[in-house]
Amino acid sequence: MVVHVQREDFDLGQALESLTRDNHGIGGLASFVGLVRDLHPGHDASAVRSMTLEHYPGMTERQLEAIEAEARARWPLDATLIIHRYGRLEPGDRIVLVACASAHRDAAFAACQFLMDWLKTKAPFWKLEETESGQHWVAAKDSDDHAAERWNSGQSP
C-alpha cells in the first residue's frame, strides 16, 4: 500500500520484488509500466523530444492514496504500489508503475487496470510535450474518461 511521487527513475525489479518478498500468500503480481512515446498522436506527426510532467504536490498524493484505497475495497489485495514520476522525461523513460499483488491473478489484473484507469482521470498531472514544432500541453482524452467510467457502471472493461 505504497504511493511514491518522485522526480527520479526507479528500479523495476527491485520495486516489484519488494512488494511480495515477505508475503508467501501472494500468488500473483500484475504490473503496468507507462512509458514516454516518441510519436505525437495529434495532428502533426512530429517526434516528441521530451515530455515534462507537472503535478499538484499534496493533492497528487491524496488522490493516489484514495484511488488505492478504493482498489483495496473492491478486490482482496495483499500489496499495491504506485510510483508516478514528474519533471522532464524523454522518449523511452518510465512515467508510472502500478502493481497489485493478490492470492489469485484475477484480482491482481483487474485492480491494476482499475488503478491505471482511475489514475489517468483523477491524479492531478499534466503533460507538456516538446516536439519539433514547439511545446504544447497534452489534452485529456474522452477515451480515458470512458475507461474510468466503466468501473462505475458495473460493466467489465
CB of 127: closest distance to other proteins in angstroms? 5
Give the shortest CB-145-to-other proteins separation in angstroms: 8
Closest by Cα among 9, 20, 8, 1 to 81: 1
Contact assessment for residue 1 and residue 66, using Cβ atoms and an 8 Å cutoff: no
Nearest residue (CB) to other proteins, 78 versus 80: 80
C-alpha distances (whole Å) from 58 to each of 5, 7, 70, 123, 124 are: 10, 15, 19, 11, 10
128 in contact with other proteins (CB under 8 A):
yes
Asked if residue 58 binds other proteins (CB under 8 A), the reply is yes
Rounded Cα–Cα distance for residues 114 and 50 (Å): 27
Q: Is 42 in the site for other proteins (CB under 8 A)?
A: no
What does the alpha-carbon distance between residue 151 and residue 122 come to, in Å, rounded to a whole number? 14
Binding residue (CB under 8 A) for other proteins from 42, 47, 137, 146: 137
What residue ranges bind other proteins (CB under 8 A)? 34, 53-56, 58-59, 62, 84, 95-96, 116, 119-128, 137-140, 144
